[in-house]
Amino acid sequence: MDRVRAHDPDLPIVTAALTKQMNCHRYLVSGQGDAGDRTFEVARSEPATQCFRA
């Protein structure tokens, strides 16, 4: 978000939540990024694992 704001500070951004925590596959830890996959029934080739970065 900081990079977007730096590029265009007047751009309206609407979001339900922001999270900075991702696992080693760059998936959102909270699972919010799965909403689109679940809505459109996108199959995953492998389950997401919980390998966290601090």
Q: What is the pLDDT of residue 6?
A: 93
Q: What is the pLDDT of residue 22?
A: 76
Q: What is the pLDDT of residue 25?
A: 79
Is the separation of the CB atoms in 53 and 29 below 8 Å?
Answer: no
Mean pLDDT score, 18-45? 70
- Give 21's contacts (C-beta < 8 A, 6+ positions apart): 28, 29, 30, 52
What are 46-54's contacts with CB under 8 Å, separation 24+?
48/23, 49/23, 49/24, 49/25, 50/23, 51/23, 51/24, 51/25, 52/21, 52/23, 52/24, 53/22, 53/23, 53/24
What is the pTM for the complete model shown?
0.33
Q: What is the pLDDT of residue 46?
A: 59
